[in-house]
Amino acid sequence: MARAVEESAYHSTDLRAGRILARGGKVGAMTVDRGTLFAAVQQGDDAWTVSVAVPVLTVEATDTFVELVAAESGRIAGLLDGDLPHQLVEDAEDAGVELLPYGSEFSASCSCEAWAQPCPHGLAVLTQFTWLIDGDPLALLHLRGLSREQLLAALHDRTSRTPSGAASDRDEVDEATEVDVEVGIDAARRAARILELLEQGEDVTSLL
């Protein structure tokens, strides 16, 4: 994420100014929503409002990511504990799911109306966000369009849907197989008994 912020800067001086603002505690409370970041940045006697838009994951990418999280035990608990394993990010990228945005994906606007965006205020907000996701990786997922509630609901739906249906199908097949086996054994016993009685010269009409 930090590299993406660097890539988005028009000039290194803007990046340095943004970092100074962020480190100086000039970025106010940040609102993270689906595909958007919003915060106010204090500079001198002025306060500037910054909005940053980021593309959200497609439905297909979201489904793939949910499958990857569910594929290994501990990943769900790790995410909820504030851990976004590097391996999970790599697995997601290999599957075509880009969690970490590129610098060119940021679409920033600021009330300072600087011609180059993101301006130092926007870069301050983005820098602050990189620090935020270090402690709460779910903020990155939320920005990408997958909130904590949606992630948990998708995982629950996946867990409750597939195994139960598969188990039900297996039970029906097993019951049908057991019936077929029992019928076959009974028929074989009856045939053997009839042959035995015929060899003894007994009347088997009642058994047919």
One domain, residues 37 and 71 = yes
* Residue 197: DSSP 8-state: H
CA nearest 92: which of 68, 70, 116, 76?
A: 68
User: Are residues 129 and 109 part of one domain?
Assistant: yes
Q: Residue 66 has what pLDDT?
A: 92
- Mean of the per-residue pLDDT values for the chain? 82
pLDDT of residue 178: 38
Q: Is the pLDDT of residue 179 over 80?
A: no
pLDDT of 86-124, one tens digit each?
A: 888 899 999 999 999 999 999 999 999 999 999 999 999
Number of neighbours of residue 199 by Cβ within 10 angstroms: 8
Is pTM beyond 0.85? Reply is no
Q: Which domain holds residue 191?
A: 169-202
- Residue 72, pLDDT score: 83
Residue 14 is classified by DSSP as H
Please indicate, yes or no, if residue 175 is contained in any of the structural domains.
Answer: yes
Same structural domain, 45 and 135: yes
With CA atoms as reference, report the closest residue to 99 among 83, 109, 115, 88. Answer: 88
Percent of the chain with pLDDT over 70: 77
pLDDT of residue 60: 94
Whether 207 is covered by a domain: the verdict is: no
Residues 6+ apart with CB under 8 A from 108: 8, 50, 51, 52, 53, 117, 118, 119, 122, 126
Q: How many domains are there within the chain?
A: 2
32-41, 56-65, 166-175: range with lowest mean pLDDT: 166-175
Residue 194: pLDDT band (50, 70, 90) is: low
